[in-house]
Amino acid sequence: MTGRACGQRWILCKTIFNGGRSIKLVAEELGGRDYISFNLYNLDSGPALFPCEMSTGKVVAFLTGFQLDPDP
């Protein structure tokens, strides 16, 4: 899937594991070098976000600003 965030276009790959209890998302900036990668676990104690080699703030800014492209 593709969309826009932070003024750029992105391609995303989302993988769901364990019956929806864990999600892996990787996003790559189209035409650029930036990327976003994280795991989200739905634990009994609540959701837990684990960014991969980046700040939680960067992931949250990306997620709150991301707009999915309309279906063709």
Q: Where are the domains of the chain?
A: 2-68
Query: Residue 71: what pLDDT?
Result: 80
The DSSP annotation for 4-39 comes to: EETTEEEEEEEEEEGGGTEEEEEEEETTSS-EEEEE
**Going residue by residue through the chain (72 aa), what tens digit of pLDDT does each one get?**
999 998 999 999 999 999 999 999 999 999 999 999 999 999 999 999 999 999 999 999 999 999 999 987
